[in-house]
A and B are shown apart, each in its own frame.
Chain A
């Protein structure tokens, strides 16, 4: 079947009443959680992983898709009204959106963010619809050596791009690799890094790591800095819709933001932060109203918000076609697939088309739901910002605890929750990015298995890793990721 008929089949799945309900639950949850500062899609999906244990994979992923897009929408509300990004991708929105709100144009800022998110989300989902099957076809020709090179490129790019220091990025990555090799070796059956502890024989449960690193680390950080936080909520004022001039100034940034966000989201390490920053810089350079930047320029909200949502669809391309997570949220979605015994990659398109195409179709559906939920109901969502922080974070810890206890039923893993929470806190305080740790841990079985399979095929000759031009291209890309920032720094000096 061609892409369009597969997509139609996907709509047949996504539009079933039960799946529509899951999409609505996901969109509402995502928006609500995106609005709450510090609680992004990664933490939400991590907390929902254990809860979806009895939900079928199609419904669960339709809900996760709603959470992913919803959190991107919701993040802008917090950024605009309290100058605190609800999630990292809304950083640039906070810069201009909050200034607009202070000038009485909060409603217009929220509208350009919501409409831009809808347009970008829809265009990017269209691009995903047609790009994903093509990339999946390409992946069929990859050999184990190519896959190993791909993981090396992913490791390098994620460690270099995420965070402020390459050394700290690589330390985070290697800590993830170290966590990932704990347990029984799949090829020889030997226990590794277990130090005689039977609880470690099955390895470190990914859900435990995700929940601990995101939820417990966040609560520890917020508690240790809570007294310094001062959040002033600006009431929504101004006309509900954008003026003719604001429409005129928004539509081009929406399209440019989409063009930047989608491919950047698909690149390992691109995430949602980088495209929003690039979009903001581009709009600042192209704008006829440069003097307004820093004082509430609508282009500075429209472009980054579109880039942010387009990137959310972009991360699904390598995830669905190659099983390659390019951001922390993608890493958690990969774990969700693995929890259902599914391995994303080219074979998933043929073995489980209902899931893949149902998920893609649900992105269109969720996007429409979000526009309806966000434009007229923004006043309602803002009320969430008034939930008292003590009870909110206390509830998050209870949910984290329930998740780990429900998945493992082990007091040892509950103890690990505290240990990993402290590790996450230290990493956050000292500027170690979390995403490389997660991606290292999640991809280490793939990297190691492909390396050992390639070497077995090459009878132990390490040169087999360099025989394929695809693998060599990935190594060159990895070297570029490593070298280009360093060269640019030297040139600037």
Chain B
């Protein structure tokens, strides 16, 4: 278990970075139009400037120790890294597995991983449950009109 840092400086820096990305993106866009006096870049630039200003404000608040007060931190029991990373893996895997393996098999793997992260120790049963759920959803939602791809693309089914 790791406790949540009291003053996460990286958050302020991340907000400033997001603002800088918006400002950079807006620099390549036309800033003026014929009548409107604003082009597609103005809003993006405003958002970027706003994020940078807010990121700085957040850092200032943290330096004063007021951003994340003790009460909030005390209420948070802290993070269990193992289960978190297992669920993260389950969330990332569909983007890699869905096209070659199809929905039912991907659902089986993700179901088993999430169940394991939350304390289940019956991996095989979870795999079968996930496969059954994925297959049922593939069939039923496919009938409803959702385009869910082939059942097992890698086998051409």
Q: Do A and B come from one complex?
A: yes
A residues within 8 Å of B by Cβ?
A: 50-51, 53-55, 164-165, 167-168, 170-171, 174-175, 177-178, 181, 185, 187-188, 190, 192-193, 195, 216, 219-220, 222-228, 388-391, 393-395, 397-399, 401-402, 405-407, 409, 411-412, 414-415, 417-418, 421-422, 425-426, 429-431, 444, 448, 451-452, 455-456, 459-462
**Contact A390 B141, CB 8 Å, known A167-B57, A171-B51, A455-B37:** no
Interface residues of B in 125-157 (CB under 8 A from A): 126, 129-130, 133-134, 137, 141, 144-149
Could you say which residues of chain B place their CB within 8 Å of the CB of A395?
A: 111, 133
B148 to A405, Cβ gap below 8 A? yes
Could you say which residues of chain A place their CB within 8 Å of the CB of B47?
A: 174, 177-178, 181
B residues within 8 Å of A by Cβ?
A: 1, 4, 8, 11, 15, 18-19, 21-22, 25-26, 29-30, 33, 35-41, 43-44, 47-48, 50-51, 54-55, 57-58, 61, 67-68, 72, 76-81, 83-84, 86-88, 90-92, 94-96, 98-99, 103, 106-107, 110-120, 126, 129-130, 133-134, 137, 141, 144-149
A188 to B40, Cβ gap below 8 A? yes
B36 to A178, Cβ gap below 8 A? no
B115 to A167, Cβ gap below 8 A? no
How far is B147's CA from A165's CA once the two chains are assembled, in angstroms?
Answer: 42
A389 to B38, Cβ gap below 8 A? no
B148 to A398, Cβ gap below 8 A? no
Could you say which residues of chain A place their CB within 8 Å of the CB of B99?
A: 411
Nearest Cβ in chain B — how far from A458, in angstroms? 9
Nearest Cβ in chain B — how far from A399, in angstroms? 8
Could you say which residues of chain B place their CB within 8 Å of the CB of A452?
A: 36, 38
A225 to B79, Cβ gap below 8 A? yes
Could you say which residues of chain B place their CB within 8 Å of the CB of A460?
A: 35-38
How far is B44's CA from A195's CA once the two chains are assembled, in angstroms?
Answer: 14
B115 to A394, Cβ gap below 8 A? yes
**Contact A190 B91, CB 8 Å, known A170-B54, A226-B80, A429-B76:** no
How far is B112's CA from A217's CA once the two chains are assembled, in angstroms?
Answer: 18
Could you say which residues of chain A place their CB within 8 Å of the CB of B117?
A: 223, 226, 390
**Contact A192 B40, CB 8 Å, known A216-B91, A394-B126, A397-B111:** yes
How far is B79's CA from A392's CA once the two chains are assembled, in angstroms?
Answer: 21
Could you say which residues of chain B place their CB within 8 Å of the CB of A393?
A: 114-115, 118
B18 to A228, Cβ gap below 8 A? no
B25 to A192, Cβ gap below 8 A? yes
**Contact A188 B119, CB 8 Å, known A53-B145, A175-B51:** no
Which 4 residue pairs spanning A and B have beta carbons closest together? Answer: A460-B37, A54-B145, A406-B146, A415-B95
B146 to A50, Cβ gap below 8 A? yes
A224 to B79, Cβ gap below 8 A? yes
**Contact A171 B15, CB 8 Å, known A178-B51, A398-B134, A448-B43:** yes
How far is B148's CA from A491's CA once the two chains are assembled, in angstroms?
Answer: 58
The residue that B86 contacts in the complex, of A164, A174, A223, A406, with Cβ under 8 A, is A223
Could you say which residues of chain B place their CB within 8 Å of the CB of A185?
A: 29, 40
A412 to B95, Cβ gap below 8 A? yes
**Contact A187 B40, CB 8 Å, known A51-B141, A394-B115, A417-B94:** yes
A398 to B79, Cβ gap below 8 A? no
A222 to B147, Cβ gap below 8 A? no
Could you say which residues of chain B place their CB within 8 Å of the CB of A402?
A: 103, 107, 137, 141, 146, 148
Could you say which residues of chain A place their CB within 8 Å of the CB of B88?
A: 220, 418, 421-422
- Looking across the interface, which residue of chain A has its beta carbon closest to that of B67? A165
A405 to B98, Cβ gap below 8 A? yes
Nearest Cβ in chain A — how far from B86, in angstroms? 7
- In the assembled complex, 20 residue pairs joining A and B whose CB atoms fall closer than 8 Å, in A order, are A168-B67, A171-B15, A174-B47, A178-B48, A187-B33, A188-B40, A195-B25, A222-B118, A224-B87, A225-B79, A227-B1, A388-B120, A394-B126, A402-B137, A406-B146, A411-B98, A412-B95, A415-B95, A418-B88, A455-B35
Could you say which residues of chain A place their CB within 8 Å of the CB of B22?
A: 178, 193
How far is B44's CA from A456's CA once the two chains are assembled, in angstroms?
Answer: 18
Identify the interface centre among B43, B68, B147: most chain A CB within 10 Å of its CB: B43
How far is B50's CA from A54's CA once the two chains are assembled, in angstroms?
Answer: 40
How far is B145's CA from A53's CA once the two chains are assembled, in angstroms?
Answer: 7
The residue that A418 contacts in the complex, of B30, B95, B118, B119, with Cβ under 8 A, is B95
How far is B57's CA from A158's CA once the two chains are assembled, in angstroms?
Answer: 19
The residue that B91 contacts in the complex, of A53, A177, A220, A431, with Cβ under 8 A, is A220
Could you say which residues of chain B place their CB within 8 Å of the CB of A50?
A: 146
